[in-house]
Structure formats: structure tokens, C-alpha cells
């Protein structure tokens, strides 16, 4: 894992990673989990790891969505996929220059702070390059799960690429277990 060697949380991008991406979705009834998302989350939770969602929501800044609509969609995500310990959204547009909008690390840093962990104790799973950049800038482990919108250069640049969400979780849990075995080995 990171400098501390222990994975304590897995953070997820929302659209295109946990749920099917419906651009600027403000309608909870349109929320549809990605295939295998519930099972992947159940594995993470059974392993005793915290879960969180970190999501750019520029539709708010663009006047296409209200914060209430985003919150209603997030609530629907939890109804379908279970509760998350932390949610962080960026309501800003790309031109706003905030430090929370991915690829900036702000939301991941805030999520880790809210969970009481170091970024090196977290992993972030997303579907595009800005997700990987944000995780890297924060000091968290990054796993890319490509979709039809992921550009080839984003896949090439990613350190860890998984076939799907379940595979991403398996990779992280395997790495965490190897790290624990190494730490527990007699010297």
C-alpha cells in the first residue's frame, strides 16, 4: 500500500465506476449500478474497510443540476449499493480553479481526513485519467477501471488497470493481504 502499509479505505468515483454514467443526472430513478458494483462493495465491507465516494458534479456550477438533485441521486446510490462512510462532491466547473475538482487532490484528501486516515491508507477506483491523477496527487493508490469513455492514453498512463470493479477490488484486497503477510512475517 502506501507509506503506512495498511489499506483502510477504498474510495470510488460515482459516475462510470459505481453507477452507469448518465450525464448531469438529477433523476434518482435513472441510477443503475454498474455490473458487479454491489458484490465488489460487499467484498470491501466484509474486509472491514471503509468506503467513500468522491465525485465531480460540475452540473451544479453549469446550472444543469441543483445540489438537492445531486443529493437525491447520491441517496439512491446508497439505497442500491449500501451506505458509504464518506461522500465528497465538487460542485465547481472546470474554469473555477478550485482545489477539489479532480484531477486536483482536494476531495480525496478531505475524504481521508473525514475518515481519520492518511491518504497512503486509501485507494481510489475510477474510470478516467483525472481520477488517477487526483489519487496520485493525494498520495492514494489508484486503480483504473476503463469504460468506453476512457482514452487509450489514460489506460497507458495508469499504474494499475482492472477489467471491472470486482477485479479492481480483488487486486486491492490481494495487495492488502500481501502487505499484511509481509508485515507479520518474523524477522
DSSP strand pairing (50-56 vs 86-90): parallel
- Determine contact, residues 110/88, Cβ cutoff 8 Å: yes
167 labeled part of a ligand binding site: no
Among candidate residues 13, 21, 131, 164, the one labeled active-site is 13
148 labeled part of a ligand binding site: no
- Determine contact, residues 54/77, Cβ cutoff 8 Å: no
15 labeled part of a ligand binding site: yes
Distance CA 100, CA 87 (A): 13
Catalytic-residue membership of 15: yes
96 labeled part of a ligand binding site: no
112 labeled part of a ligand binding site: no
Interacting residues of 144 by C-beta distance below 8 A, sequence separation 6+: 125, 126, 127, 128, 129, 131, 132, 150, 154, 155, 158, 160, 161, 162
Among candidate residues 15, 96, 131, 163, the one labeled active-site is 15
Q: Which residue has the cell 498512463?
A: 157
Q: Which residues carry out catalysis? A: 13, 15
Binding site membership: which residues? 13, 15, 90, 92, 98, 100, 127
Report the binding-site residues for Zn(2+): 90, 92, 98, 100
* Positions at the binding site for Mg(2+): 13, 15, 127
Amino acid at each position: 500500500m502506501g507509506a503506512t502499509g495498511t489499506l483502510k479505505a477504498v474510495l470510488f468515483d460515482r459516475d462510470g465506476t459505481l453507477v452507469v454514467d448518465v450525464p448531469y443526472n438529477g433523476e434518482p430513478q435513472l441510477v443503475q449500478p454498474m455490473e458487479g458494483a454491489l458484490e465488489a462493495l460487499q467484498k470491501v465491507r466484509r474486509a472491514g474497510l471503509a468506503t467513500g465516494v468522491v465525485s465531480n458534479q460540475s452540473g451544479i456550477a453549469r446550472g444543469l443540476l441543483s445540489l438537492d438533485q445531486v443529493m437525491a441521486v447520491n441517496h439512491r446510490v446508497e439505497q442500491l449499493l449500501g451506505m458509504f462512510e464518506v461522500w465528497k462532491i465538487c460542485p465547481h466547473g472546470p474554469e473555477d480553479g478550485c482545489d477539489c475538482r479532480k484531477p486536483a487532490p482536494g476531495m480525496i484528501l478531505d475524504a481521508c481526513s473525514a475518515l481519520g486516515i492518511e491518504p497512503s491508507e486509501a485507494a481510489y477506483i475510477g474510470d478516467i485519467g483525472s481520477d488517477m491523477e487526483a489519487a496520485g496527487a493525494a498520495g492514494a493508490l489508484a486503480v483504473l477501471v476503463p469504460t468506453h469513455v476512457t482514452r487509450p492514453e489514460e489506460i497507458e498512463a495508469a499504474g494499475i488497470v482492472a477489467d471491472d470493479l470486482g477485479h479492481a477490488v480483488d487486486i486491492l484486497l490481494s495487495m492488502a493481504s500481501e502487505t499484511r503477510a509481509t508485515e507479520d512475517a518474523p524477522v
